Structure 1
């Protein structure tokens, strides 16, 4: 019996254009990420660097970039947040049948932009019993520790949970712990169809 539903954020609620950041950086003559930049990105997503440290690292690596170009390129991944998905989770929250948890790999620059552009963001956040962003909890998917963190924090058994994410690596990691998963394909599936798509669990 499912007691908790754990949701990813990007391409589950907010639409993403995942290649957009690299595309924008190429427009600024950044062709490839060095190992140092990849490490910088991961550390930032885990909250191990501040936004200022993150941007400074980019400028150090690519001296022709400035803060605005980096920030705008970084945020290019973010598209729209359809309100109907907010209404779906709002209704689910009001029904109080399940513990609702958001678990997202994200960072301060992205979440600040979403707060600026999504007028219902705070109401969306209130729909969840817990709202975990990787940069705030210092864990990121698909590391085993992030799933164990959620299970332990909420005294949940893996078999009582459904985890929904658009990245197979992340759902595979959760499944390895015994958590039920839905690897949602955003080009042909939508979170509002949860109870039809995964009806065998409910």
Structure 2
């Protein structure tokens, strides 16, 4: 079997409010205003596909949110979203590989985060056979082609794959392709799904 795991809030807890908190402090912009205005819009999606640079993304987001931040200040906030690893998920990934299953990560991400999390959480890379990143692939979930590319690269059909993600749109897209998909709403979902299966 092929097991496909999202990264954020599936293997590693993330919280965008942490970024907004740092930006609020550094830019002297009220946190409530940033929380109201922050959205994952066009620049966000372009950045995750690798279509715009980190600097262009930072400038676009600062403009959208009315923040006067240096690129370094923006980056400090952007990297603050990472909270910590979910050990139960990592343990399950390791067990799956030990029994001969293929385990990969498929993440909508960006260059800035990819410079950060592998150094913070080296155990995540060690728990996966391969890592597929939107900004390297030029496409992002829930676009069907990104799932088809992973299946093709890995040599599995849709009915031989299980996909875990915290975003309903991504789950729906994978399900439409015939991939068995599980919505991860909290840290108990993955251990619960594998109870009795591993």
| TM-score bin, normalised by smaller chain | 0.7 to 0.9
In the comparison of the two structures, how many residue pairs are matched?
Answer: 190
> How far apart in 1 are the matches of 2:57 and 2:152?
31
> How do 1:23-42 and structure 2 match up within 5 A?
23-27=21-25, 28=27, 29=29, 31=34, 32-33=37-38, 38-42=41-45
The alignment yields a C-alpha RMSD, in angstroms, of 2.6
Q: TM-score, normalised by structure 2?
A: 0.81
User: What SS does the aligned partner of 1:10 have?
Assistant: coil
For residues 96-122 of structure 1, the C-alpha deviation after alignment (integer angstroms, 9 at most, x for no partner) is: 1x221210111121222213322xx1x
> How do 1:78-93 and structure 2 match up within 5 A?
78-93=82-97
Q: CA deviation at 1:56?
A: 4.1
Q: Structure 1 unaligned runs (5+)?
A: none
- The corresponding residue for 1:115 is 118
Structure (1 or 2) with the greater helix fraction: 2
Q: CA deviation at 1:171?
A: 0.5
Q: Give the counterpart of 2:58 among 52, 55, 67.
A: 55
Aligned residues of 1:58 and 1:70 also touching (Cα < 8 A):
no
> How do 1:48-197 and structure 2 match up within 5 A?
48-58=51-61, 62=66, 64-96=68-100, 98-118=101-121, 121=122, 123-186=123-186, 189-196=188-195
Q: CA deviation at 1:75?
A: 2.1
> How far apart in 2 are the matches of 1:84 and 1:159?
25
Deviating above 6 A after TM superposition, structure 1's stretches of 4 or more consecutive aligned residues are none
Q: Structure 2 unaligned runs (5+)?
A: none
Q: CA deviation at 1:141?
A: 0.6
Q: CA deviation at 1:33?
A: 5.0
Q: CA deviation at 1:71?
A: 1.0
User: What SS does the aligned partner of 1:79 have?
Assistant: strand
User: What SS does the aligned partner of 2:104 have?
Assistant: strand
User: What SS does the aligned partner of 1:136 have?
Assistant: helix
User: What SS does the aligned partner of 2:109 have?
Assistant: coil
> How do 1:15-30 and structure 2 match up within 5 A?
15-27=13-25, 28=27, 29=29
> How far apart in 1 are the matches of 2:92 and 2:148?
27
> How far apart in 2 are the matches of 1:16 and 1:104?
13
